[in-house]
Amino acid sequence: MKNTDKTNMTGTATKLSRRNLLLATGALATSTGTAAGMSTKTSTHLEALGGSKHKRVTTLNGRSLPYRLRGGVKEFHLIAQEFEHEFAPGTTVKAWGYNGSTPGPTIEAFEGDRVRIFVTNQLPEHTTVHWHGILLPNGMDGVGGLNQPHILPGETYAYEFTLNESGTRMYHPHADEMVQQAMGMMGLFIIHPRSTEHAVDRDFAILLHNWAVHPGTSRPDPSIMTEFDLWTLNGKVFPVIEPMVVRTGQRVRIRLGNLSMHDHPMHLHGTHFKVVGTDAGRIAESAQWSMTTALVPVGGTLDLEFIARAPGDWPFHCHKSHHTMNAMGHEVLNPLGVKQSDLDAQIAKYLPGYFSMGEKGMSEHQVHTDMGHHPAPENTLPMGAGKGLYGNLEMGGMFTLLKVRDHLRNYDDPGFYQAPAGTMPRRVSSDPNFKL
């Protein structure tokens, strides 16, 4: 399948007639083999969605699912399947997801739309899809064995319902749920309101997840309940997660869904935001308040909104510090303060290249991995990575940047922000006993 994102959801789409658009999307949506040639680059469209003032959401490292219109019903096609998924160069897994990606493509529609969603099961076991947070007839709720028979391997089921509310929702299996979600089967379902009252300039969609991909393995381990190895935003880890690029003064929305096993306190630098919505819809303005960290609960969504106040590179990350790291051994003996370097040469007699680490902290880790001193275990990412203008970022996992710029030609990554003179800290002494 060709890249549907680029074909249907780039700037060229606005030049197409509605009929042409539907023909194009319909032709592509009915084809299969979506894993092949799928781009994970975020579409950088600025165009309106369906002629309204609502912008399409930007799914970081992802895309939205195309649809076709048939008899007034928007038809989508999800294909549940296994494929190779890359968290960042150096780590791939055999994941399960939809249409070749995890999370699956974001479904976007409007409040009041009638949608028909075909679900083809190419997995080795049965599945279903639960439309998380959407109010619909009980039979369409997607709980295997309860509301419907399971969708057996090779079968295609059609779900059909009307979207009666707007907001950020999710979809995921309700069959062998522990395994299938651990393997990556999930996606966001964005229902835009008909009203343009709360339209924003930039609308980002992010699904939070965790992965038990033990070092040296290449298939997620569904049996893990709390000790995960990788923490992802839209299936990627920093620094592969794309930045959110906005213009100064723009109204920005970040939609967060959490289908991981942990709550995540998501923290944004450089501005205050308000939580304006949950997976039950828009929160009344009187109930909103400003904050910089919002706890996204397991199985819930939050919509954050703010005005991009000042230019700069502003981190957006989970504030559980282990969630902004990649795999590390939590049983590792604490090396901090352990004077042991005099033993290195003796140990290196038996383990060539051995040297002790962590006596003064763990920041040296990225130095060594970047310089190639440390060969990586099979299919394993270093704990921290990423370089900025002034050094190593020493981050991984759930970390990205909100890049605010006064002037933008497009929403491609503008590179690092160079702070103007006089707006940065300066070194005043190198004497550790410095006194005022």
Partner 1 sequence: MLYKNIYALTLFFLLGGCANLPNERVEREVGKLAEEQGAGKISWRRTKEADNAVKALINDALSAGLKPDDSAQLALLSNPDLQVHFETLGIERADYLSAASAPNSVLQWQRLTQSGVDGAAVEWGLTRNILQLILWPTNRRVAKLDMDGAQLRAADEVVKLALRARTEHMHALAQQHIVELQVAHTDLARLAFELAGRFREAGNLPLGELEEERTRWMEARRALDEEKLQSFNDELNLSRTLGILGLGNELKLRGQLSELPEKELSLLDLERLALQRRLDLRAAYQSTKARLVRLGSVRWARFTPSIEVGTTTAKEDNGSQTSGLTASLELSLFSQQEASLAASDSLARLAMRRAESLAMDVRVQVRQAQAEMAVARARVEAWKNEVIPARAVLVDNRVREFFFMLKGPFDPMRAKQAALEAEIEYTRALRDYWEARARLALATGDLSLSIAEKMT
Residue with tokens 């549907």: 4
Q: Which is nearer to partner 1, 89 or 353 (CB)?
A: 353
Q: Which is nearer to partner 1, 372 or 425 (CB)?
A: 372
Residue 99 CB, nearest distance to partner 1 (Å)?
33
Stretch that binds partner 1, among 11-19, 106-114, 335-343, 415-423 (CB under 8 A): 335-343
**356 contacts partner 1 (rule: CB under 8 A):** yes
Number of residues that bind partner 1 (CB under 8 A): 38
Closest CA to 204 of 318, 107, 350, 305: 305
Asked if 99 contacts 146 with a C-beta cutoff of 8 angstroms, the reply is no
The distance in angstroms from the start CA to the end CA of the chain is: 66
Name the phi and psi angles at 351, rounded to 5: -125, 85
- Sequence-ordered alpha helix ranges (H) in 119-263: 177-182
Q: Is 191 helix (H, G, I), strand (E, B) or coil?
A: strand
Q: Which is nearer to partner 1, 236 or 365 (CB)?
A: 365
Site map for partner 1, 178-217, x if CB under 8 A?
-------------------------------------xx-
Q: Hey, which residues between 365 and 404 contact partner 1 (CB under 8 A)?
A: 365, 368-369, 373-378, 380, 382-383
Entry field: residues in the chain = 436
**18 contacts partner 1 (rule: CB under 8 A):** no
**324 contacts partner 1 (rule: CB under 8 A):** no
Q: How far is the C-alpha of 190 from the C-alpha of 330, rounded, in Å?
A: 37
Residue from the set 152, 178, 347, 367 that interacts with partner 1 by CB under 8 A: 347
Query: Diameter of the chain by CA atoms?
Result: 77
Q: Which is nearer to partner 1, 350 or 434 (CB)?
A: 350
**142 contacts partner 1 (rule: CB under 8 A):** no
Q: Which is nearer to partner 1, 210 or 234 (CB)?
A: 210
Asked if 113 contacts 76 with a C-beta cutoff of 8 angstroms, the reply is no
Q: Which is nearer to partner 1, 351 or 436 (CB)?
A: 351
Q: How far is the C-alpha of 208 from the C-alpha of 37, rounded, in Å?
A: 24
Site map for partner 1, 275-314, x if CB under 8 A?
----------------------------------------
**315 contacts partner 1 (rule: CB under 8 A):** no
CA distances 141 to 73, 145, 174, 194, 379, Å, are: 19, 11, 9, 24, 37
Q: How far is the C-alpha of 421 from the C-alpha of 230, rounded, in Å?
A: 38
With a CB cutoff of 8 Å and minimum separation 6, the contacts of 197 are none
Residue from the set 19, 138, 287, 351 that interacts with partner 1 by CB under 8 A: 351
CA-based torsion, 415, 420, 425, 426: positive or negative? positive
Q: Which is nearer to partner 1, 20 or 340 (CB)?
A: 340
With a CB cutoff of 8 Å and minimum separation 6, the contacts of 202 are 55, 58, 244, 246, 250, 251, 252, 253, 308, 411
Residue with tokens 């590792």: 332
Stretch that binds partner 1, among 54-62, 63-71, 304-312, 340-348 (CB under 8 A): 340-348
**27 contacts partner 1 (rule: CB under 8 A):** no
Stretch that binds partner 1, among 173-181, 188-196, 243-251, 332-340 (CB under 8 A): 332-340
Q: Which residues bind partner 1 (CB under 8 A)?
A: 215-216, 327-329, 331-340, 343, 346-347, 350-351, 353-354, 356-358, 362, 365, 368-369, 373-378, 380, 382-383
